[in-house]
Amino acid sequence: MSPIADDGLKLSLTDISLNREHTARATPAEIERISPAAWAYLGDAVYELYIRSSYLMPPRRLQAYHELVVGQVRAETQARHLRSISPYLNSTELAIVKRGRNAVSGRSKRADPEIYQQASSLETLVGYLYLTDPERLTEIMALLELETEII
């Protein structure tokens, strides 16, 4: 099989997870003490890594990868993704989303404040689940409807 063949396989977050030894030592109580802003900081990176890995197949030019990824990591798209997955979230996850929304202190120069809050809430959830339940995170990320073409 060619190394660039598109056999329809999707990478999961467990396939792309970095060495998480440092988080394995954190207890649930320690993770709960991490601020929602810190969860969002981590979630931003995890979300972008997931999006980038989702677009690796079929192979494209770097500019095409970039344009596809930028379209998905924008605050407006993240807010739309949060709205689309909200019906599938359990009460704990909804509470994390709320904590993320309430923790937003800065303002985006480009995005509407409500949109920015929703995007930050999604990143908060992603960061929290990355630390506590990567399998659930993979399930939720699989619900995202990603664009397949450059807009």
- Work out the angle at residue 96's Cα, subtended by the Cα atoms of residues 94 and 99, and round it to the nearest 5 degrees: 115
Q: How far apart are CA 38 and CA 44, in angstroms?
A: 10
Q: How far apart are CA 29 and CA 26, in angstroms?
A: 8
Locate 83 and state its tokens: 């709205």
Q: Which of 7, 15, 44, 133 is catalytic?
A: 44
- 6 catalytic? Reply is no
Residues serving a catalytic function are 44
